[in-house]
Amino acid sequence: METGTQDRKADRIIAIGASTGGTEAIFSILRALSPAIPGIVVVQHIPPVFSRMFAERLDSQTALQVKEAQTGDYADAGRVLIAPGDRHMRVKRIGSRYRVECFDGNKVSGHCPSVDVLFESLAREAGRRAVGILLTGMGYDGARGLLAMRRQGSRTIGQDEASSVVYGMPKAAFEIGAVERQAALGRIPQVLAELIG
């Protein structure tokens, strides 16, 4: 039984997107997770130097291994990869693992890195093996990508209005039917655990 659970989790991946208020929201989720969690990829709208500092802070203050992503990094269990502040990030499935690619590009949905770019790659590469989480933020980045994920069988979570600093991005996603489960920030780790089994 245990082996089966591990096998099922081996090829799972979690993607998180956030903007305004997101650094604290992401920290509050990650510090509640154990190193047994599937690999996590994150797009937080943040300037370049700060993305590395953010990753270093999370690495030192959570039980997970967190780093600013570089092309070729793998999102393995217990590992969190944060998109660089001025580059898009997408994932590519290689066997049962997920490798990230960071690349220069124009703004998508008003941003680089863009949550939509990450989420749309998850929809293509991971489908029902993925969970997408859209947190507090201004605008609509991530809504379209989260919908693409849900249509491909991914589980999706949106932060609720009461716990969001800015209920823009999760609201946009909720309104187009991209959010399967809406939850307060404090409940998201529990909802995530339920969805990944």
State the Cα angle at 130 between 33 and 5, rounded to 5°. Answer: 65
Q: What is the pLDDT of residue 39?
A: 98
Tell me whether residue 173 is in a domain: yes
How many helices (H) and strands (E) the chain has is answered by: 7, 9
Per-block mean pLDDT, blocks of 10 residues, the chain (197 long): 47 97 98 97 96 98 98 98 98 97 97 98 98 98 98 98 98 98 98 94
Residue 165 in domain: yes
Query: How many CB atoms are located within 10 Å of the residue 14 CB?
Result: 26
Question: Is residue 57 domain-resident?
Answer: yes
Report yes or no on 6 lying in a domain. no
Residue 116 falls in the annotated catalytic set:
no
The reported pLDDT for the residue numbered 9 is 64
Q: How many domains does the chain have?
A: 1
Residue 37 falls inside a structural domain: yes
The answer to whether the beta carbons of residues 37 and 62 sit under 8 Å apart is no
Check residue 137 and report its DSSP letter: B
Question: Rg of the chain's alpha carbons, rounded to an integer?
Answer: 15
Q: Assess whether 164 carries a catalytic annotation.
A: no
Q: What is the CATH number of the domain that holds 118?
A: 3.40.50.180
pLDDT value of position 3: 39
Tokens coding 82: 């944060």
pLDDT at residue 5, as a whole number = 43
Structural domain boundaries enclosing 64: 11-196
- For the question of residue 45 being annotated catalytic, the response is yes
3-class DSSP assignment, residue 184 = coil
Report d(CA 87, CA 164) in Å as an integer. 25
Catalytic one among 88, 111, 116, 141?
Answer: 141
Per the domain annotation, does 5 fall within a domain? no
The active-site residue, picked from 45, 88, 160, 164, is: 45
pLDDT of residue 197: 83
